[in-house]
Amino acid sequence: MTTPFPIRVLTLFPEFFESPLATSLTGKAIDRGHFSVELTDIRAFTTDKHRTCDDLPYGGGAGMVMKPEPLVAALEDAREALPGAPRILLTPQGEPFTQQIAAELSEEPGLILTCGRYEGVDERVREHWIDRELSLGDFVLTGGEVAAMAIIDAVTRLLPGVLGNQDSIEEESFSRPLLEYPHFTRPRSFRGHEVPEVLLSGDHGRIAQWRHEQALERTRRRRPDLLPPAHRDDDP
C-alpha cells in the first residue's frame, strides 16, 4: 500500500525512529495514510559474514568510513521503489536545513533520507548517488538519524491534512519569520504570577497589537538576524 508521500530512511539504526514515528501527530498522520515511512537497515544489504558497513579511511586518520557497497545497494533499492524522490544525505557538510527547504521538500513525490554514521560516507557515494546534502546546523551529532527525524517532522506537518489546523500553516507562511509572542493559559494567577491584563480585556485589536509588539521585541533581543538590519540596532 502506497501513500501520497512515501519516505524511505536508510540507516544503521532503524529502531531509533520507531517511537518518535508512533507518537503524537506523526503517529496519527501515518495511521491516517497522509505519509508512510519505510525504515531500511543498510546492514541488510551487506553480503559478508560479519555484515560490515564501515572500513578504514584511505590515507589514514581517525575513525571509520561508511563503505560504498551496502549503502549504494540500499540507495539503488530505494531509487527503484521511489523513482522521483530526491536522495538526501544528512551530513555536517550539508546545506543548513530551513523552513524554506522543508516547504520545498513537502512538494516532492517522497523522500529518500540517508543517515551518515562514523566519520561519514565514502565520497563517491555522495558524488554519484546523492541529490542533496542537508545539515541540521552548526553543532555536532553522532549520526544523521536525529537530523533525519527532525526533517521528517518539519516536512510532514506541511503535508495537506496532517496539521489539524491549516490556518496556522498559512499564518506561518504569510507572516514575517518572527519569534512567537508569549502564550498563557489558566489559571489567571499562578503562584503569584499574573497573566498580562491586555489578554483578559476582550479587546481583540489591542490584543493583536500587543502580541505583534511582543513578537518584534523578542525577535530583536534574541534573534536580531531575523530582522532587516535597520530594526536590529541598540541592545537594551
Interface residues with ligand JBZ (CB under 6 A)?
90-92, 116-118, 120, 135-137, 141, 143-144, 147
Say what the alpha-carbon torsion angle 4, 135, 172, 231 is, to the nearest 10 degrees.
Answer: -160
Give the single-character DSSP code of 157.
T
Nearest approach, Cβ of residue 156 and ligand JBZ (Å)? 18
Nearest approach, Cβ of residue 35 and ligand JBZ (Å)? 21
The grid cell for 161 is: 491534512
Query: What is the spatial distance between Cα 61 and Cα 199, in angstroms, rounded to a whole number?
Result: 60
Nearest approach, Cβ of residue 63 and ligand JBZ (Å)? 9
Nearest approach, Cβ of residue 146 and ligand JBZ (Å)? 7
Residue type, 74: A
Helix orientation angle between 145-156 and 24-31, rounded to the nearest 10 degrees: 70
Which is nearer to ligand JBZ, 103 or 150 (by Cβ)? 150
Sign, CA torsion 198/203/207/210: negative
Query: What is the spatial distance between Cα 13 and Cα 5, in angstroms, rounded to a whole number?
Result: 22
Nearest approach, Cβ of residue 34 and ligand JBZ (Å)? 25
Which is nearer to ligand JBZ, 40 or 91 (by Cβ)? 91
Which is nearer to ligand JBZ, 135 or 219 (by Cβ)? 135
Which is nearer to ligand JBZ, 85 or 147 (by Cβ)? 147
Query: What is the spatial distance between Cα 31 and Cα 37, in angstroms, rounded to a whole number?
Result: 11
The grid cell for 211 is: 502580541
Which is nearer to ligand JBZ, 57 or 92 (by Cβ)? 92
